[in-house]
């Protein structure tokens, strides 16, 4: 697939001398959902702000839809819709007016049919004449997305799209973002909720202390770095782990009814078959076996930890 954003050797030092980005290279493919993860202060907002032209880079280059963000700011900016974390819009304005006005800011000719389409897509059409202050928090977020889409951008940035919203609304947003992707728009989101990246992203980038420490397809990442947990449901409960199972470091769970064994899926020998053989030798019967893949969250935590240790 073709790249829509190319980031090369991007660096940023703030006036304080703090180096927020240390040579980031990244290609974003057209049509994908890319999740940028990182602990607080990692440089996510700095990177997005540079790509959107709100912060000047110190070094390196970025192009958006073929436009250099510094030399051709207008060209690159018009390809981008940005949904900031804070909801700032005039509370007394009506939904349809604020969205129509946003389009005008980009110098795009009026297009009522298009505005109607995005308002309908975002389930805002019935609320088009409501004042922003009359809307629920979830609806306000939708208005911010409608504003960001008003000038028909090819890339949509969502900065922490579900920060501080309840679980139901978060699921709604995920569904909505999934639907937006069907329209062909490329989506880049930053998030603290790893579950969000796990649920939606095609690819994941992890940024830590100004460096992009990993970019990978989500499914490949989970396979590659993931651990699996094998749960063995015992025929009879055990009161303690038999010493003969010491080398597998298993844990007893569910009041002694289950043995849990964590293994590395990439290891040459996972230890699963030898463990099962050993159970047979010891006369420990089992009724069921199941395995569970570790979550992206486990992977992320161990990755950032490893970086810290290094
Ligand atoms: N204007 C500024 N002047 C000096 N330092 C800054 C400035 N803006 C950001 N920083 C620093 O740069 C680092 C990266 O900040 P940034 O906001 O990009 O992180 P982030 O990954 O978005 O974090 P968060 O998840 O907390 O939003 C932080 O250490 C921050 O304190």
Same domain, 154 and 12: yes
Which atom of ligand 1 is the closest one to the Cα of 38?
Answer: 21
Closest residue to atom 11 of ligand 1, CA basis: 20
Which atom of ligand 1 is the closest one to the Cα of 49?
Answer: 18
Per-residue pLDDT, 36: 93
Helix or strand or coil: residue 123? coil
pLDDT tens-digit profile of 12-61? Answer: 999 999 999 999 999 999 999 999 988 888 899 999 999 999 999 999 99
Same domain, 7 and 54: yes
Same domain, 83 and 209: yes
Which atom of ligand 1 is the closest one to the Cα of 207?
Answer: 21
Same domain, 74 and 209: yes
For the chain, what is the domain count? 2
**Rounded Cα–Cα distance for residues 171 and 173 (Å):** 5
> Is residue 263 assigned to a domain?
yes
Same domain, 43 and 129: yes
Which of 187, 208, 223 is the endpoint of a domain?
223
The CATH number covering residue 131 comes to 3.40.50.300
Same domain, 116 and 234: no
> Is residue 132 assigned to a domain?
yes
Closest residue to atom 6 of ligand 1, CA basis: 14
Same domain, 75 and 123: yes
Instruction: Determine the distance separating the centroid of ligand 1 and the alpha carbon of 46, expressed in angstroms.
Output: 6
Q: Which domain holds residue 253?
A: 227-293
* Angle, CA of 242, 246 and 252, to the nearest 5°: 55
Burial class (CB in 10 A: 0-12, 13-18, 19+), 81: buried
Same domain, 153 and 23: yes
Give 10-residue mean pLDDT values along the chain (310 residues). Answer: 92 95 96 90 91 95 96 95 81 93 92 93 93 89 92 93 78 84 92 79 91 86 73 95 93 94 81 93 94 69 64
Probe target for ligand 1 pocket from 16, 45, 191, 205, with the most ligand atoms within 8 Å of CB: 45
**Rounded Cα–Cα distance for residues 50 and 61 (Å):** 10
């Amino acid at each position: 697939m073709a790249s829509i954003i190319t980031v090369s050797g991007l660096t940023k030092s703030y006036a304080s001398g703090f180096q927020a980005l240390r040579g980031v290279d990244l290609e974003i493919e057209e049509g994908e959902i890319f999740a940028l993860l990182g602990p607080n202060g990692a440089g996510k907002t700095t990177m997005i702000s540079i790509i959107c032209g709100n912060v000047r880079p110190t070094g390196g280059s970025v192009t958006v839809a073929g436009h250099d963000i510094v030399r051709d700011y207008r060209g690159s900016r018009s390809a981008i819709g940005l949904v900031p974390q804070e909801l700032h819009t005039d509370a007394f304005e009506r939904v349809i007016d604020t969205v129509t006005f946003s389009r005008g800011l980009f110098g795009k000719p009026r297009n009522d049919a298009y505005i109607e389409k995005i308002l309908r897509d975002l389930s805002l059409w019935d609320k088009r004449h409501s004042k922003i202050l009359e809307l629920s928090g979830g609806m306000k977020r939708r208005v911010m997305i409608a504003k960001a889409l008003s000038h028909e951008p090819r890339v949509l940035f969502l900065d922490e799209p579900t920060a501080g919203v309840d679980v139901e609304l978060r699921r709604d947003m995920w569904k909505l973002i999934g639907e937006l992707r069907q329209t062909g728009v490329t989506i880049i989101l930053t998030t603290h909720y790893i579950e969000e990246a796990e649920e939606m992203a095609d690819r994941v980038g992890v940024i830590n202390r100004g460096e992009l420490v990993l970019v990978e397809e989500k499914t490949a990442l989970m396979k590659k770095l993931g651990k699996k947990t094998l749960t063995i449901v015992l025929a009879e409960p055990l009161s303690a782990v038999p010493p003969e199972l010491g080398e597998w470091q298993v844990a007893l769970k569910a009041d002694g009814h289950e043995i849990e064994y964590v293994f590395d899926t990439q290891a040459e020998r996972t230890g699963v078959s030898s463990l099962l053989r050993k159970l047979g030798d010891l006369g420990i019967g089992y009724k069921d076996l199941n395995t569970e893949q570790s979550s992206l969250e486990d992977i992320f935590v161990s990755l950032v930890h490893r970086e810290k240790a290094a």
